[in-house]
Amino acid sequence: MDWGLENRLNRILKPDTGRTVMLAVDHGYFLGPTSGLEDPGRTVEPLLPYADSLMLTRGVLRQCIPASSDIPVVLRVSGGTSILSELSGEGLTVATDDAIRLNASAITLSVFVGGEGERETLLNLAKLCDVGQKYGIPVLAVTAVGKDMVRDARYLGLACRICAEIGAHFVKTYYCDGFEEVIANTPIPVVIAGGKKIGEREAIELAHNAIKAGASGVDMGRNIFQSDCPVGMIRAVRSVVHENATVNDAFEIYRQEKDARG
């Protein structure tokens, strides 16, 4: 790995723990208006001190995040479809020079293994990995799961392994039973998405189980910004990721923060 690429990756996966708490707020790129992200700048502002990076689109970055912020940016560079269409037909939406101009610490796209857009999205990943290698920018592959796919270790392991083989520098997927198997077969760091909003304790447990199974962190969105106490949630998840906190201790962090804020 070259110095620039390694340096950028170290801005996201913190060298002291090898782990990361990524805050994902890119949902609007295919969902449009998303509860909790009506005003993304306002949503993320109190969370930034506890996030290791921010995953978002260039539109939200330019309009809502002050350029004075020093949060590392994981820039979503795929899209072109919406919940009203066939999601797996994503293409690349950002030119390399704009990603560089926006000072992206990493670039990211979704791949749809087993979906109609499988070939196209995997070939886009390959293109992006070439860009990443050329300019020293790490590539995060996101394993999107189609409606009819089963989120099990066999499927997610297949998707993650393919991303690693093509050259992604890290991969984001979903937690599942037997997650150790996914980790064992993926020779790059794996982070997990949070998925749809669930109970706070359940979401903390999800992060805890993933870390225990060998995940390198989380790239969590809705379970943080749709929580009744987003700061409490990100602090709780952070304690699990970087301090190996137990579920009870982490939940207590969330609870106390919520109480303190009334």
In terms of DSSP H, where are the helices of 36-117?
40-44, 58-64, 96-101
- 148 backbone dihedrals φ, ψ, rounded to 5°: -95, 10
| Element spanning 79, H or E | strand 78-79
Closest to ligand 5RP by CB, 7 or 85: 85
| Tokens of residue 36, six digits | 């909790």
Local structure of 130: helix, strand or coil: helix
Pairing of strands 139-143, 170-173: parallel
Report the distance separating Cα 223 and Cα 207, nearest Å: 11
Report the distance separating Cα 121 and Cα 151, nearest Å: 19
147 is catalytic: no
Local structure of 193: helix, strand or coil: strand
CB 140, min distance to ligand 5RP, A: 9
Q: Are 109 and 121 in contact (CB under 8 A)?
A: yes
Binding site for ligand 5RP (CB under 6 A): 24, 26-27, 55, 110, 142, 144, 193-195, 219-223
Closest to ligand 5RP by CB, 172 or 242: 172
Quote the radius of gyration of the chain (alpha carbons, Å). Answer: 17
CB 227, min distance to ligand 5RP, A: 11
CB 225, min distance to ligand 5RP, A: 8
Closest to ligand 5RP by CB, 1 or 90: 90
Catalytic residue among 172, 197, 212, 258: 172
- N-term to C-term CA, the chain: 48
Closest to ligand 5RP by CB, 142 or 166: 142
CB 224, min distance to ligand 5RP, A: 8
CB 168, min distance to ligand 5RP, A: 14
Report the distance separating Cα 175 and Cα 180, nearest Å: 10
Closest to ligand 5RP by CB, 64 or 136: 64
Active site residues: 172
